Structure 1
Amino acid sequence: MDVLGSKQDSGWRNTRGEASLSDVHRSINISQSGSRWRRLAAFAGPGYLVAVGYMDPGNWATSLAGGSKFGYALLAVALLSNLMAIVLQSLCARLAIASGRDLAQACRDAFPKWVSIPLWALAEIAIIATDIAEVIGTAIGLNLIFGIPLELGVLITALDVFIILYLQKMGFRWIEAFIITLLGVIAVCFAIQIFLADPQWGGVIRGFFPTTEIVTNPEMLYLALGILGATVMPHNLYLHSGIVQTRNYGHTLPEKKEALTYATIDSTFALCFALLINASILILAAAAFNSTGRTEVAELGEAHSLLAPLLGLAIAPTLFGIALLCCGLNSTVTATLAGQIVMEGFLKMKLQPWIRRLITRGIAIIPAAFVTIWYGDAGTAELLILTQVVLSLQLSFAVFPLVMFTASKAKMGELVAPIWLSGIAWLIAVVIAGLNVKLLVDFVSG
């Protein structure tokens, strides 16, 4: 037991239980004798698993709609969303390294059951909503590439449990390698498509600077809120605070400070990569659709079918489908891990990963299959939007506890967040809550 942990346990309502993701907890050694670059490389990985949640099919839908409708103007919103994400994910790493708890365990140890159990239920709902989006995205990807009907594609997504099982048996580094490889494929696909689309780079650069029109134009504001609401995912906060602890970074205060620095660098670089992908989707939509007068493109299947005639190359829609399929597979892995962290952290209930995966995916497949069978493409687009609204509603229930814990000296000890960082984090939490209320009001009012 480390000295820092014993000193700060008085700040928690309950004592710390089992380690987060105990089967891989501290399974990756950090060489203290190696160079700083080697130690930094050992920390590289968790950030990219987190980055997957920032480029799921829900993000694709909002970025496509924003780019086709308003060109490059909403790139500034994508940048602002990413800056918010960088701050929140750095707090997740801080919580994990300082307290030895993931966010689910921290909620269980800080709050009475009448608070922690509802928080668990909300986190589970968020993970199911995320999984529904992944089911739809993967099914659309299979349809675009192989022509598999959406109804059958939804059922095929249940087989991804075998991918998870195989990777988890090989070790956590293999999971990270799988994720990073697929992210590389996504990046190459979009690089080729943007090269073919030949965007106006001057307009791209200007798009990263916010304008007053984003606030004064109601339609633009709605899409901006959608991009913000679809960016920061609740399950990512639980996920990051758990997988950071796969590194065996030592127990002394200097070792923890170094671990926090490297973990923050990892997540920051990975989220910058996520910004690159999300910006690429928006730039592609602006260059291929907005510039040709097609300003109402919001469905993934519709975007795919229009790319070939607009870009003049048959491979363009295939690349779009491959990237979408890779996103679906990536999100599958991270949602499984997040579900494991949430269930074990809140309830101390340990299930085999494949059982946990089948339960979550089974719950997700039912509404996805029903909608695709009865309503087809239009129905899946509506369900995708609904999942983003659900995720937005859950977000504040993860963000506020995270900010509260990391600002507490009693809970965090010497690694408590600086006042300036806590101030920024509280501002972000309030802004996200306000935006999510606005999204809910807009959704209810139609």
Structure 2
Amino acid sequence: MDGTGAPSLAANSTPTPRAEGWIEPRGEGSLSDVYRSIPVRNAGFWRRLLAFIGPGYLVAVGYMDPGNWATALAGGSKFGYALLTIALLSNIMAIVLQSLCARLAIASGRDLAQACRDAYPRPVGVMLWALAEIAIIATDIAEVIGTAIGLNLLFGIPLEIGVLITALDTFLILWLQRVGFRWIEAFIIVLLGVITVCFGIQIALADPDWGAVIRGFAPTTEIVTNPEMLYLALGILGATVMPHNLYLHSGIVQTRDFGDTLPEKREALRFATIDSTVALMFALTVNASILILAAATFHATGRHDVAELGDAHSLLSPILGSTVAPALFGVALLCCGLNSTVTATLAGQIVMEGFLNLRVAPWIRRVFTRAIAIIPAAGVTVWYGEHGTGQLLILTQVVLSLQLSFAVFPLVMFTRDRAKMGALVAPLWLGATAWAIAVLIALLNLKLIYDFVTGAHPF
């Protein structure tokens, strides 16, 4: 135990002693194969800052995955720019919650899954693990469908075949993990750059009403009073503040060898927060661009029912008068699918190892989760074709929203517990903000369930 009250971060193979506030000792470090593998100490300020750049961009991937595309396209085509305020609100929530993830990891030496395992009785931990797995499966379904649609749009590969091809991404991820964690981060950042360029060109071609865009960021009560708008708003929320991202960030921050002293931990927290905040603002730009593109091209031309990614691709060319836009749409979608695959794999590893203290070969874990995702995705594409994939994508994002509270409430509770966090306990203002976010998410989800039970929205 160090002077902060946080557990000592010794070698990852040596379990730490039981710390005050935790029922169980920490055990091995998160993602033990890459735990503290990136040196940070004994370098100048700028090199230390640069060494922390990366985890935030892996987290940002979840803010622009294929499921997010479906909800943003549906929201933009049906309600114009009105749901931009939800994209902004979701991003603010994400910045707060991701900063808490970094704080939990750096102060306690635990990722969120390990913290739940070490703080709660085993039955509670197993329940939370099952809910986290459901969220990861929902994420994986969105990635399978998005990647398959991207392959179809660019190369004409049938969706059914594309769904099966997505199983091959297992080997890509395994290769990236073997060459080093910084290569994974570089791969993600390069693909994010491609996505940004693609949307920048499409937005320029669409030439949206920028005055309406600015007004779209202002809140409106219709989002709560209109069940259909609330449904899409929660889909955007679930696609942005994704539960698996909370587990992911609290694990990958610990790939940095930042040291054990309180000043080193404070500096690590500062750098990690800067990294995630900048990355999430970048993600907001891309996320909002999808909605703006849908509003400027579809809603403005009277097409209010575009939710299918394939439909959006085929409609862009006649509306924008360019054959470049559909190709850019397909390239960006394929990059999103590949990016999301990498981060979901890492999150799945963190969840299984953290909650169950069960370590299996990465390829076994990946094949298992991808097989579970392929079954419903393949069923929908075979039975309904591409016209059923949009609704399934939106549904997966709503499922993620419903799972959020089971990750957010423990995160907020842990980071406000001085016995668990020591000197790095979240300050009162940050804790109060996080509690407000947690309660708001729970209330919106209760409203969604109420609308479902009363038949106010035909889900």
Normalising by structure 1, we get a TM-score of 0.97
On the 8 A contact 2:111/2:247 being kept in 1, the answer is yes
Q: What's 1:51 paired with? A: 60
Q: Which runs of 5+ in 2 are unaligned?
A: 9-17
1:31-85 superposed Cα distances (whole Å, 9 cap, x missing partner): 4341x22211110000000011111122111111121122222211110110000
| In 2, Cα distance between equivalents of 1:350 and 1:49 | 22
Distance verdict in 2 for CA 1:326–1:140, change over 3 Å = same
| In 2, Cα distance between equivalents of 1:22 and 1:245 | 9
Match of residue 420, structure 1, among 393, 409, 429: 429
Q: What's 1:187 paired with? A: 196
Match of residue 123, structure 2, among 114, 119, 129: 114
Q: Secondary structure at the match of 1:16?
A: coil
Kindly indicate whether residue 286 of structure 2 is the aligned counterpart of residue 280 of structure 1: no
**Percent of aligned pairs sharing the same letter:** 78
| In 2, Cα distance between equivalents of 1:281 and 1:386 | 18
Kindly indicate whether residue 303 of structure 2 is the aligned counterpart of residue 294 of structure 1: yes
Kindly indicate whether residue 39 of structure 2 is the aligned counterpart of residue 29 of structure 1: yes
Normalising by structure 2, we get a TM-score of 0.94
Tell me how large the CA RMSD over aligned residues is: 1.5
AA of the residue aligned to 2:317: A
Kindly indicate whether residue 399 of structure 2 is the aligned counterpart of residue 390 of structure 1: yes
1:1-400 equivalence runs, <5 A: 2-4=2-4, 5-6=6-7, 9-34=19-44, 36-400=45-409
Q: Secondary structure at the match of 2:220?
A: coil
AA of the residue aligned to 1:26: R
AA of the residue aligned to 1:157: T
| In 1, Cα distance between equivalents of 2:449 and 2:228 | 15
| In 1, Cα distance between equivalents of 2:447 and 2:224 | 13
| In 2, Cα distance between equivalents of 1:45 and 1:353 | 21
On the 8 A contact 1:229/1:436 being kept in 2, the answer is no
| In 1, Cα distance between equivalents of 2:253 and 2:123 | 28
Distance verdict in 2 for CA 1:190–1:369, change over 3 Å = same
| In 2, Cα distance between equivalents of 1:443 and 1:184 | 39
Segment drifting more, 105-114 vs 207-216: 207-216
1:111-164 superposed Cα distances (whole Å, 9 cap, x missing partner): 010110111111111111110111011111111111111000000000000110
Distance verdict in 2 for CA 1:145–1:424, change over 3 Å = same
On the 8 A contact 1:61/1:298 being kept in 2, the answer is yes
On the 8 A contact 1:389/1:440 being kept in 2, the answer is no
Distance verdict in 2 for CA 1:9–1:319, change over 3 Å = same
Q: Secondary structure at the match of 1:275?
A: helix
| In 2, Cα distance between equivalents of 1:6 and 1:223 | 42
| In 2, Cα distance between equivalents of 1:6 and 1:162 | 36
On the 8 A contact 1:51/1:274 being kept in 2, the answer is yes
Whichever structure has more helix as a proportion of its residues is 1
1:161-181 superposed Cα distances (whole Å, 9 cap, x missing partner): 011011001100000000000
| In 1, Cα distance between equivalents of 2:230 and 2:373 | 30
